[in-house]
Structure 1
Amino acid sequence: MTRHLFLTLLALTFSLLLSLSSYTLAENTPAQNTPSQPAETQLELEVLPAPIQHLKNKGLVIVREFPVGAALKGWVVNYQGKDMIVYTTADDEFLINGVLLDAQGNDLTEGHQKSWIPRPSWDDLATSHFITEPSLAPESTAGESTIYMFYDANCPFCHLAWLALQPYREAGLEVRWIPVAYLKPDSRDKAAAILSTPKNKQAEHLRASMQAFNTDTQDFSQPPSNENKQQLQTNMNLMQSLGINGTPGWVWLNKEGKMQTQAGMLRLPKLPNVTGLPAQKHTEPTLMRFR
């Protein structure tokens, strides 16, 4: 799984904290969400650590504090309608923006995002700018199985996920691919090319780009328009607010109808649970390591 940089807050905190020699900032994973209600949760000035107070003075809304442990405090902050997780040290001297790992290497930040930042609903995913790969099953046998996939056009594991899902499309799965752009400088151009393609041609474009992923035989990029940039930002905001820190990012409903998320390439035996369909055969040699 590729870590996604917390670009918006990182740029802001760099500009705000360079003048403060006693503060440090560690960059890493992004997280943000829909606007919060600052009037209900904003903390009083006198209880804020100095770095948090400084950010507040520069325009950030401090939504809430939450417990982390003896050494750190957790904070949800809001900037331009985006909720994010940051941490301060127990002595209130330093602010940390990044992924928090425990002694076993577990990503605690992802859990904090899910616990303290309200996540979008399944219906909210329909507001994203996605490319639909429809079910290939006959209408009489096609089930109502749909998943969403966040992907970067330069992500090799997204290519593998696409390969792994093709047999499930034959069995009745609809896949909605949500493009984001962060891995390479031309990721945005490749995403813009597919978003600019007429709707009825987007699935064909996606398939061609996936098939040519390891060949570089075709150029699937174009400069993004302002509309493309806004579409990609909307998609990125949604991915971050779901706490998905890398691509491919899987979103599905379990048997109980609860939304589930996962980042990274999944093992093939997990796909029946994700798709809600019977296990399908895979013959692609590149997928054998995921058995």
Structure 2
Amino acid sequence: MRKFTRMMIAAGALVMSAGAIAANAPEPVWLPATAAARFQNASAIVEGASGSNVKSTLYVFMDPNCIYCHLVWKALQPYETVGLQVHWIPMGFLKADSAGKAAALLEAKDGAALLRELETHYSVKDESGGIAPLAHVPAADQNKLDNNIKLFQDLGFDGTPTLVYQGSGGRWANVSGLPQLSQLPGILNLPAQPITDPDLQKYR
């Protein structure tokens, strides 16, 4: 997980520095019922199942350069084929080009396709998402990113990725960081799927 350790307001934008911590998700934290409408209406890139094929819905707060977000994306791909829909809620804080990449995702005619390009060309060595950032972030997109960060903070989240899912009794919960692969079926309420990606085996 990428954890916020310092934040400041500069030139009208929220700037955060981050440090890596262990990637094991803790016990879920239950959210108030009023929170659902806010993250369900957040600016996001929707990926995975659609229409009547949707069996489970997940919301993920992410940064385009976050390596643990990248690993979560890889871990969720098999579940998307069996009914998972993911709403990726972008923020831009980890690196100087994070906001430009996040804005590019929001501006894309096919955001899911550009997200796939970002992840399939992700540089693990550089911890950098594999798309070009916008040279200038339009004001409308900056407003969306700022709103996503404000929502992230308002809900008490402190690191990326943060996964928001519907748990027992219809209550919404969140976990921060990359869950162990064995936790995913319970989080997603879907049958366990084989995950053979070598980058994920140590997270079983």
Q: Structures share a fold, TM > 0.5?
A: yes
The offset of 1:143, in angstroms, is: 4.3
The answer for the alignment partner of 1:148 in structure 2 is: 59
The answer for the alignment partner of 1:4 in structure 2 is: 4
Could you tell me whether the CA contact under 8 Å between 1:4 and 1:182 is conserved in 2? no
Identity %: 34
Where 2:4 maps in the other structure, the secondary structure is: coil
Aligned-pair RMSD on alpha carbons?
2.8
Q: Encode CA deviations 1:66-89: one digit per residue, 9 max, x unaligned.
A: xxxxxxxxxxxxxxxxxxxxxxxx
Tell whether 2:71 aligns with 1:160.
Answer: yes
Tell whether 2:45 aligns with 1:131.
Answer: yes
Residues in 2 aligned to 1:290 and 1:268: alpha-carbon distance in whole angstroms: 6
Could you tell me whether the CA contact under 8 Å between 2:54 and 2:85 is conserved in 1? no
The offset of 1:153, in angstroms, is: 0.6
Letter in 2 for 1:124: R
Could you tell me whether the CA contact under 8 Å between 2:162 and 2:177 is conserved in 1? yes
The higher relative CO (CA closer than 8 Å, separation ≥ 6) is in 2
The answer for the alignment partner of 1:266 in structure 2 is: 179
The offset of 1:255, in angstroms, is: 2.5
Residues in 2 aligned to 1:182 and 1:119: alpha-carbon distance in whole angstroms: 28
The offset of 1:124, in angstroms, is: 1.5
Where 1:236 maps in the other structure, the secondary structure is: helix
Residues in 2 aligned to 1:155 and 1:282: alpha-carbon distance in whole angstroms: 21
The answer for the alignment partner of 1:283 in structure 2 is: 196
Q: Encode CA deviations 1:217-268: one digit per residue, 9 max, x unaligned.
A: 9542102111111000110011112221111110001021111111111100
Tell whether 2:36 aligns with 1:122.
Answer: yes
Structure 1 gap ranges (5+): 12-26, 30-110
Structure 2 gap ranges (5+): 11-15, 19-28
Residues in 1 aligned to 2:34 and 2:137: alpha-carbon distance in whole angstroms: 27
Could you tell me whether the CA contact under 8 Å between 1:143 and 1:172 is conserved in 2? yes
The answer for the alignment partner of 2:26 in structure 1 is: none
> How many equivalent pairs are there?
186
The offset of 1:171, in angstroms, is: 0.9
The offset of 1:131, in angstroms, is: 0.3
Q: State TM-score, norm by structure 1.
A: 0.58
Tell whether 2:172 aligns with 1:254.
Answer: no
Could you tell me whether the CA contact under 8 Å between 1:119 and 1:242 is conserved in 2? no
Residues in 2 aligned to 1:119 and 1:233: alpha-carbon distance in whole angstroms: 23
Residues in 2 aligned to 1:146 and 1:286: alpha-carbon distance in whole angstroms: 24
Q: State TM-score, norm by structure 2.
A: 0.82
The offset of 1:274, in angstroms, is: 1.0
Where 2:90 maps in the other structure, the secondary structure is: strand
The answer for the alignment partner of 1:39 in structure 2 is: none
Structure with max Cα Rg = 1
Residues in 1 aligned to 2:78 and 2:114: alpha-carbon distance in whole angstroms: 19
User: Is the strand fraction higher in 1 or 2?
Assistant: 2
The answer for the alignment partner of 1:212 in structure 2 is: 121
Residues in 1 aligned to 2:106 and 2:4: alpha-carbon distance in whole angstroms: 21
Could you tell me whether the CA contact under 8 Å between 1:145 and 1:172 is conserved in 2? yes
Residues in 2 aligned to 1:233 and 1:6: alpha-carbon distance in whole angstroms: 16
Where 1:7 maps in the other structure, the secondary structure is: strand
Q: Encode CA deviations 1:270-291: one digit per residue, 9 max, x unaligned.
A: 1011111011100100000100
Q: Could you list the runs of 4 or more consecutive aligned residues of structure 1 that deviate by over 6 angstroms after TM superposition?
A: none
The offset of 1:7, in angstroms, is: 2.7
